[in-house]
A and B are shown apart, each in its own frame.
Chain A
Amino acid sequence: MDDLRVSSGLFFSLLGLILCAVGIFSPATRAPLTEVNVNLYTGIVMVVFGGVMLWLARRRV
């Protein structure tokens, strides 16, 4: 856990999962000027980023 790849990987995976959950279960949540489900898309990007971090951490151990 004191490997930064693990801690930031976990953080962004969690954050991404939360955003995905908001995007999936409450797809009507919109800001005044945003038409797309931006929570879901950002969530997916964060899960991927967090996943890559965790994968890098595993690979080098």
Chain B
Amino acid sequence: MTLGSIDYFIIALYFVFVLGIGWLLKRRVATSEDFLTSGRSVPVWITSLAFVATNLGAQEMIGMCASGAKYGMMTCHFYWVGAIPAMLFVGVFMMPFYYGSRARSVPEYLKLRFDEKTRTFNAVSFAVMTVFSSGISMYALGLLFELALGWSFTASVLLSAVIVLIYTYLGGLTSAIYNEVLQFFLIVLGSAPLAILAVAKAGGWEGMSARLPEVMSRAWKYTGSYSANPMGVEIFGLVVGLGFVLSFGYWCTNFLVVQRALAANSMSAARRTPLIAAFPKMFIPFIVIVPGVAAMALMKMGVGYALPPKGEGYNYDLALTTLMGQFYPSGLLGVGLTALMASFMSGMAGNVTAFNTVWTYDIYQGHIRKGAPDSHYLWVGRMSTIVAVALSIGAAYLATLYNNIMDLLQLVFGFVNAPLFATFLLGMFWKRATGHGAFTGLLAGTAAASLTHGLTLAEGKGAWLGNLHQFPSTMAQNFWIAIFAWTTCCLVTILVSLMSRAKPVAELHNLVYGVTEIPRTGDAPWYERPGTLAILIAVICILLNVWFW
């Protein structure tokens, strides 16, 4: 795949615009809250699209296309089961507490609701995690560009990191969010033609599914048992592990996404942010997963398209870029690659802006220096933006040297994240839950996750304590690790809470269900009512599932 000068020109034009947006938004930043939380001033259509975009990183684009090629339409579960229900829940049920508490971050909510130690545990693990995950996606992008375009790893990593740094340093969260929306449009407009061209070439949906085993074009039909589908998952693990524990844990407690909703300019806008975001979210499989499925059909047609081999199978990670190389002429190819870069930047900017807020408010202001003037925290916020980018670059290079360390870290983050949703659910809906309960519950849940991993084996992973059970795939293992972690956290939190002294109800206003005024929305037009929107989305999502059953 080679680029013409017109492609480079398009990439340059994109750089000019993202930097320009950062520069124009610079004058909106006067206080630390302007910089770190957008001063709660962003219109709802912008926060919603940013909510989708920040999660649509380059790793997701590449990985979902690869998974589409490898597993087929079952990959859609990561959207229709693994995202939509949780997005509806956070908008309808949880946002009144997040937004109403006036917490500036998710860890800060934990501090207000529970205590300092629960907040610190969450803040520190989250801060470390964001830095590493932006490093890992930077590594993936650098590797891909090196492989597909022959660009130097160092040059593409540094260039994209520096651009993200400049625009987030200048305009803070507002600039990150505004650019995420531009990036979202670019991702959609730059990837949709690929989906259309690849599917058309493969003979439309009918032609595609006729050329592939039926399991590739169905989402649910083959989930009855582990052995029926190439993913190696079954319906209970899928629905409870992915659809409930992992998905609610991510969309409802991860500050990366919640931060976008908290930047909205009113309670109503904050609640509608994840709901409006769910509309585009449920159709994203058609532009990221379907091209991967089409790639497999094209390979059977002998039209000259082939995935490069890897080991006994194929290098699925190259599905997206090889398709672009075969279907995009010079011009559109520049747009396609810019879209890939845009997805990388939106993911990275999300990590950077979440990191600097948690660092500044939850770690620095909470533990290192309390009560300084606001201008000092603004300065700390700016500096931590630079530090976050530098650490991410460091993590990307660490990944090139020690790939195993990165796998291990991702595993550990998984253990820490799995129980989180139990803590928030009990915290928001049970007045009796206490700080001691939440903290010990989180620790116990994390321990249960590691223990499950240590006692079960899947694809040669885990079982470092003994082999009690064997899973057919690491995905199934992950789902069950999450289920055990969540259940343990929930039980331990309840038990310890009942044994410790609860916070007086007077301190729980706007934090817990029952002592918080849930905003009335009956007078608003239907499209501004969270409940109505949620039902509408649920119906469309169910129809999609039935269609691709």
Contacts and interface: CB of A to CB of B under 8 A. Distances in A.
Nearest to A7: B21
27 contacts: A1-B24, A4-B46, A4-B182, A7-B21, A7-B24, A7-B182, A8-B182, A12-B185, A14-B13, A15-B335, A18-B9, A19-B331, A19-B332, A22-B6, A29-B330, A29-B331, A31-B332, A32-B326, A33-B298, A34-B328, A38-B193, A38-B328, A39-B329, A39-B332, A41-B193, A45-B189, A49-B185
Contacts of A10: 17
Interface in A1-29: 1-2, 4, 7-8, 10-12, 14-15, 18-19, 22-23, 29
B327 A42 contact: no
Nearest to B303: A33
Interface residues of B, number: 34
B193 A49 contact: no
Nearest to B333: A31
B201 interface: yes
Nearest to A23: B331
Interface in A32-55: 32-34, 38-39, 41-42, 45-46, 49
B331 A7 contact: no
Interface in B27-46: 28, 46
Consensus secondary structure, chain A interface = helix
A23 B14 CA distance: 20
A54 B505 CA distance: 51
A7 B19 CA distance: 11
- For the complex of A and B, list the 8 residue pairs with the smallest distance between their C-beta atoms, beginning with the closest: A22-B331, A39-B331, A2-B24, A31-B329, A29-B329, A33-B326, A11-B17, A8-B182
A36 to B, nearest CB: 8
B17 A42 contact: no
A23 B331 CA distance: 9
B304 A32 contact: yes
Contacts of B332: 19, 31, 38-39, 42
B491 to A, nearest CB: 46
A34 B189 contact: no
Contacts of B25: 2
B327 A34 contact: yes
Nearest to A53: B185
Nearest to B20: A7
Contacts of A46: 189
Interface string B316-353: 00000000011111111101000000000000000000
A49 B201 CA distance: 26
Nearest to B42: A4
A18 B328 contact: no
B386 interface: no
A41 B193 CA distance: 9
A19 B20 contact: no
Contacts of A29: 329-331
B335 A7 contact: no
Contacts of B46: 4
B250 interface: no
B312 to A, nearest CB: 26
B265 to A, nearest CB: 14
B167 interface: no
Contacts of A49: 185, 189
B38 to A, nearest CB: 13
Contacts of B189: 12, 42, 45-46, 49
B248 interface: no
B418 interface: no
Contacts of A22: 6, 330-331
Contacts of A7: 17, 20-21, 24, 178, 182
A5 B331 CA distance: 24
Contact of A4 (B178, B193, B335): B178
A18 B327 contact: no
A7 B179 CA distance: 10
Contact of B28 (A2, A23, A42): A2
B32 to A, nearest CB: 20
A34 B332 CA distance: 12
Nearest to A14: B13
B181 interface: yes
A46 B185 CA distance: 10
A42 B327 CA distance: 13
Contacts of B411: none
A34 B17 contact: no
Nearest to B171: A2
A24 B185 CA distance: 24
B105 to A, nearest CB: 24
A4 B41 CA distance: 14
Most buried by B among A14, A30, A31: A31
